[in-house]
Structure 1
Amino acid sequence: MGMNEVQHGSADARSEVAVAYLALADGELGHAARHLGSAFAAEPELPEAHQALAELAAAAGGALAALEWFPTDEAYSGIVGCMAHLYAAAGFWDAAVDRLGAVIGAEPERGWAQVAWLARPDLAGLVSPEAVGRAVAAVTGGLPEGPAPAGLREAVGPFRALVAAVLERHPEHTALLTLASVLARRLGEPEAAVRWAEQALAVCQAEIAQDPSDLDRYVDVAEVYQRTGRPAEGLPWLDRVLDIDPAHPTAGPAVHALRHAAEGGGTEHLLALSDHLREYPDHGYAGHLLAELCDGVPWLGHVHPASEASLGVLHRILADPAAAPGSGIELVGSHLEPPSTVLAVRMGLPRSGIAYKCVPLPDPRLPQHEVGTRLWEFDGPAARPALDPPSRPAAELVRQVASVGWDAPGAAYDHAVRLSGLSLGDLLAVCVHPPLPRDSAQGAYLLGRQPELWVRAVQTFACLGIAHHHADEPWRASRRRAVLTDLLFGPEDWVNEAAGFALLATAWADPAAREEVGALLTDRMTAVGLAWQERDATILASLCRLVLGCPWVERGVREVAARMLAAVTRYET
């Protein structure tokens, strides 16, 4: 999920600083560090927070020693911001810029770049262009595609000034020139974007003129074109490489990435990248590109978000600082929602209940086809798990394996192989009895702010575990196929989506399963789409994206999926 943190105002930041000072007075440096992380997350520019951080460093015996008190597994913005400032105080400039870039990218509209050390006139000579390049990549990842608004440009301004200063010292660093061109384009500086892109191309082409046999330089030229918005112009350079070396470890993957960009997205070339990686597992660049292109895309890079009305109420209560821990709510919904919604509400607010006034038609409690696997029993609109809880070891293993995000569908499929030894009974039971999130900063965020994402992650990886059940059985006759199909066509629920993703990931990993998986997902999407014409069907957008993840499906079907997705998205917003 990245560095998520609920935003607070100055009063919250100052109160966190005050508590940090009390902890410092008692010698509790770890306690002070956690509260300073919260203070910086609330207001990165607060002078009192910076002063308190300096006093923590002094109490710890120096900035480097103070770093030990900040938990590295808690990647929320305040902690990472504190680490950036401490590295700067210790003179570790690469690490400082690296981490500052991460928090700017996570929250570019905020004042992370408004810090004195970033404006040092000699900083450009103290930091490496490689570290600045990593920071630029992180920052651009958090910026909108179009020209940024004035306020955002002002917030990022000091960082952009450092990039320009470093390029003056390293005018032939093609990677940084390329990344800087992207940064300038997103900040609404077309002249600088073109200048740096042309400068990068000139450097690459000069190197090719000196040594035409260096095929990697041809790839560099192609990627400059791709990153600066002209992917079609880069393809001929890759074709020249592949004519010479058809198995080139970077040109082969890069051609799929450039075609993806040149054709405006879709999943055809992402699947080709995944297939390339399966054929050449030592071509790590293919995995890097695939992860970059899947990042932030529902189902390709993370669980699909949920949109049920009761979740909106849940989020408002969880975000209210006045809400008592462990408080509960009694919701009354106008229409039945997927049963798993109740799991999420009760995970976030354990003493809660949801009642629904009516069951709309077509009845979402009825499976689309006859199924042999049941997860839910219904008493009118009220649903309850049809299975007993899973064994404690099974629940704990799923808890450790489940994740909200992944690099690509194939990566999620491979990661879930750790669950292949669990019984089908346990994997099914965990879908309706999800364990709590892991004890970590991200786990605390999910439990305290978006528990539905964790429930969906558990269900997703439980279904991926089912996809590995008795993997030696031929797919068409396998128990894993039969169970996932049952879950896909069962009563409308988030488990339909999780099973659909497990089928999709299986098809990405196994070309022999693609035709059938595409047909199954299309069948389910079509049925739910017809129901959506009569009533709400909150799983439809997710099913549409699953079908769009099947580029082998007929173009007409994918066009229908895209139109339905657009219609549902307009309706939900």
Structure 2
Amino acid sequence: MPEDDRPLPPAEELTLARLAIDDGDLAHAAGHVAAALAQAPTLPEVHEALARLAAADGGGGVELFPLRGHAFVGAVVARAHLLAAAGRPAEGLDLLVAATGHAPGTDWAGVPWVTAPELADRLEADRTARILMQVCAAVTDPVPKAGRAALAPYLTLARNAVTVHPGHALLLGAASALARRVGEVALAIHWAARGVRLEPSKIGEVWLGYAYRSAGRTREALAALGRAVAHDPDDLTVYADIAGTLADTGRLDEALDWIDRALARDPTFDCAVHTGHRLRHQRDGDVAHLVALADFVREHPDDTHEHGDLAESCRGRPWLGQVTPATGAVVDALRRAVAGDQRDPDVVRLDAPAPPSATRTAATAAPELRIEVAAVPEPDPREPRRAGARQLWHHDGTRLVPAVPAPSPEAVARLRQLAHPAWPHPPAAYDAAVGLATLTLPDLLGLLAHPPEAPPTALGRVLGQDPSLWVRCVQVWSCLGLLHHRTDEPWATSTRRRVLLELVWGVEDWVTEAALFALVTAAWVDPGVRPDVARVVTARLADAAVVARSRPVPIALSLAHLALASPALDPETAALAAALTATNRRVPRPRSRLGRLWRRLTRR
């Protein structure tokens, strides 16, 4: 079926299939049957049409669904059923498992021939075990509750096979692995324990250990995994599993001892390296462990499998995995105004001018708000912190006016596709921002001063509940886009470095944070720029600390979090940043509207 063809409803596809069969156009009929099967894989009428097609073909119909290139999933599943009907059920199951891997939540195997008890008699126990292991490899561990029903036929196959082959240890272990993934933990323990009693082995003990761990029986899990190590001391994956199990119960020192044992055998073993860096960061909070992990990932792109340790460690952490929410009286009033809270007055009285981005966002999203500033303290927050810094706005009386042209429609469209308040980790954010690489410098600067409206998407509608958050997203991703500007230029004399520094040392604003985050991200992805970026971070935080002795610095807390996310920071600056975050912490209350919005946006 051509990729650009949209399937009709199953009933209409089947009608066309029957007409094509009557006309002898079996290839055309096969396309319609495959389209119907992809939408309704357990519908009896679809299988009746498939059987009729096979009968008309005279050769069983298997070759009407060839596997060439990127095969259509409906054709794969049709071929699977026809192979089973032709007496080749193991080959058919292999294809059904492939379909499950493609769309795990679809009930591809919910058909009588898969769940029939006699199928287990027809399959060799070794082959069934391999099929069950293929299913396990195709799905998450554990499978979310909503997706477990689609795997029920495979679990039925496992039950039937264990009944027919009760003494096959490998089958029992594979069946245990599947049962554990779909929440049948007691059954998983039962099957794995039987397998180990029948034939003690490393893999059997691993399956048993995982089953115990899923049941929360940590002591038994560690004992089983320890026996697995005794079977094969060279399998360092088990060392990492033991370390992860210990860490889950808060026993970090013991966990790291196992990691060190693994690394002593192989310093480049990916599972141990990833787990070790994650656990060391979990123990002391030093971002250097995560930077080292990012370096390892960059230097070893061909790891045996994907690891989520870096993303797990950065998730929910300011600037490591998400933008920090804006704070201040203007932003608080703006959020209440957008929420329709009528209890508050329309006047926001400030002791000092708010950051320009906050003022501009309020004027755009809640023009009814009036902002009154009692005085302008020294040093003047409306002036750049260094001479020659880039000015994005200028004051026209009490009005803020952008000092740069608006961005092009193309720049707006690309930015709206990318901007998000969360990312897996800084290198991932850098990679994602490559989509802005061809934007011009005026466009990128224009996005900072003229943030577009949020896109008409589900994410955009959620962000619309807090306009300040959307503006911060725009500015963060625009500055990440600046990192990709003229990357052929050497860093020290590059346009991207110069412009980001000009923004860092401009007026105290959300753009300051966004530009500094871009520099911090550059340090994550390029070890060569780390000393330079560390000096900038140190100087900017020190400047904020000095100014804070005379007046409030609204961005100080965020700058401190940025410093703590920065590679190669000196201990004194890190201590200052830690002290600032400890004394100026402001986190949305868990039950507040902002807290709920934030959790929804950063859950990814």
Shift of 1:468: 1.1
Q: SS of the counterpart of 1:438?
A: coil
Equivalent position to 1:298, from 314, 318, 323: 318
CA shift for structure 1 position 561? 1.1
Alpha-carbon distance, 1:198 to partner: 1.4
Deviations 1:81-126 (A, max 9, x none): xxxx999xx99xx99x955699xxxxxxxxxxxxxxxxxxx9xx99
User: Within the alignment, does 1:468 sit opposite 2:468 as a pair?
Assistant: no
Q: What is the letter of the counterpart of residue 477 of structure 2?
A: F
User: Which SS does the other structure have where 2:270 is aligned?
Assistant: coil
Specify the code of the residue in structure 2 equivalent to 1:429: G
- Go from structure 1 to structure 2 and tell me whether the alpha carbon gap of 1:175 and 1:322 turns closer, same or farther (over 3 Å shift): farther
- Distance in 2 between residues matched to 1:452 and 1:168, nearest whole Å: 54
Alignment-derived partner of residue 505 in structure 1: 521
Cα distance change of structure 1 residues 178 and 546 upon mapping to structure 2, 3 Å threshold: farther
Alignment match of 1:311 (pick from 303, 310, 331): 331
Is the contact between residue 353 and residue 382 of structure 2 (CA under 8 Å) also seen in structure 1? no
Would the aligned equivalents of 1:356 and 1:381 in 2 still touch at CA under 8 Å?
no
TM-score, normalisation: structure 1: 0.67
Q: Contact 1:376–1:383 (CA<8 Å) still a contact in 2?
A: yes
Give the secondary structure class of the aligned counterpart of 2:401: strand
Cα displacement (A) at 1:348 = 4.0
SS at match of 1:268: helix
Secondary structure in 1 matching 2:400 = strand
Which structure has the bigger radius of gyration? 2
Alignment-derived partner of residue 79 in structure 1: none
Whole-Å separation in 2 of the counterparts to 1:170 and 1:318: 56
Distance 1:467 1:570, change over 3 A: closer
Per-residue CA distance 1:368-415 (angstroms, 9 max, x = gap): 112252211123553221112100001111111111110101111111
Paired residue for 1:253, among 274, 277, 288?
274
Alignment match, 2:545: 529
What CA deviation, in whole Å up to 9, does each residue of 1:263-285 have, x standing for no partner?
A: 32221101111111111123376
Who is 2:53 aligned against? none
Q: How many angstroms apart in 2 are the aligned matches of 1:101 and 1:489?
A: 50
Report deviation, 1:357: 3.4
Cα shift at 1:134:
7.9
User: What residue number does 2:294 align with?
Assistant: 274
- Please, which of 222, 231, 251 is the counterpart of residue 201 of structure 1? 222
2 CA distance for matches of 1:231 and 1:547?
Answer: 26
Equivalence map 1:142-541=2 (5 Å): 172-175=207-210, 177-178=212-213, 181=216, 196-261=217-282, 263-283=283-303, 288-320=308-340, 330-334=346-350, 335-346=352-363, 348-349=365-366, 354-447=371-464, 449-541=465-557
Letter in 2 for 1:268: A
Deviation at 1:559, TM superposition (A): 0.6
Change (3 A) 1:169 1:377: farther
Q: Secondary structure at the match of 1:332?
A: strand
- Check 1:490–1:211 CA distance in 2 against 1; reply closer, same or farther (3 A cut): same
| Matching of residues 17-28 of structure 1 within 5 Å | none
Label 1:486 to 1:133 Cα distance change in 2 as closer, same or farther (>3 A).
farther
* Other structure's SS at 2:584 match: helix
Q: CA deviation at 1:354?
A: 3.7
State how far apart, in whole Å, the 1-side matches of 2:401 and 2:186 are. Answer: 60
Q: Contact 1:506 / 1:513 at 8 angstroms: preserved in 2?
A: yes
1:361, distance to aligned residue in structure 2 (A): 2.4
Which runs of no fewer than 5 residues in structure 2 stay unpaired? 1-38, 44-104, 112-138, 148-155, 161-174, 194-206, 590-604
Matching residue's letter, 2:475: Q
Distance (whole Å) between structure 2 residues aligned to residue 258 and residue 469 of structure 1: 36
Q: Distance in 1 between matches of 2:452 and 2:418?
A: 12
Match of 1:559 in 2: 575
Cα gap change, 1:287 to 1:394, in 2 (>3 Å): farther
Provide the C-alpha distance between the structure 2 equivalents of 1:177 and 1:343, rounded to a whole number of angstroms.
56
Aligned-pair CA distance for 1:353: 5.2
Higher relative contact order (CA 8 A, sep 6+): 1
Q: Secondary structure at the match of 1:358?
A: coil
1:251 positional shift: 1.6
Post-superposition offset of 1:234? 2.1
**TM alignment of 1:61-100, pairs within 5 A:** none
Distance in 1, matches of 2:509 and 2:242, equals: 48
2-structure distance, mates of 1:258, 1:509? 22
Cα distance in 1 for residues equivalent to 2:379 and 2:214: 51
1:407-455 residue CA offsets vs partner (Å, 9 max, x unmatched): 10111111111111101110011011112222222210110x2221111
User: Secondary structure of 2:308's partner?
Assistant: helix
How much does 1:216 deviate?
1.3
Determine the C-alpha separation between the residues in 1 that align with 2:188 and 2:374.
63
Give the aligned partner of residue 24 of structure 2: none
Structure 2 counterpart SS, 1:218: helix
Q: Distance in 1 between matches of 2:580 and 2:481?
A: 30
CA contact (8 A) 1:329 1:351 kept: no
Distance 2:345 2:413 in 1: 28
- CA–CA distance in structure 2, aligned partners of residues 404 and 373 of structure 1: 25
Determine the C-alpha separation between the residues in 2 that align with 1:524 and 1:320: 38
Instruction: Report SS of the residue matched to 2:422.
Output: coil
Q: Percentage identity across aligned positions?
A: 37
Once the two structures are superposed, what CA deviation does each residue of 1:108-149 show, in whole Å capped at 9, x if it has no partner?
Answer: xxxxxxxxxxxxxx9xx99x98799889xxxxxxxxxxxxxx
**How many positions carry a matched residue from both structures?**
436
In structure 2, do the counterparts of structure 1 residues 208 and 61 end up closer, same or farther at CA, with 3 Å as the change threshold? Answer: closer
In structure 1, distance between residues paired with 2:309 and 2:211 = 18
CA deviations on 1:245-278 (whole Å, 9 max, x unpaired) are 33222122222122222x3222110111111111
Q: 1:289 to 1:466 in 2, by over 3 A?
A: same
Measured at CA, do residues 133 and 410 of structure 1 come closer, stay the same or move farther in structure 2, by a change above 3 Å? farther
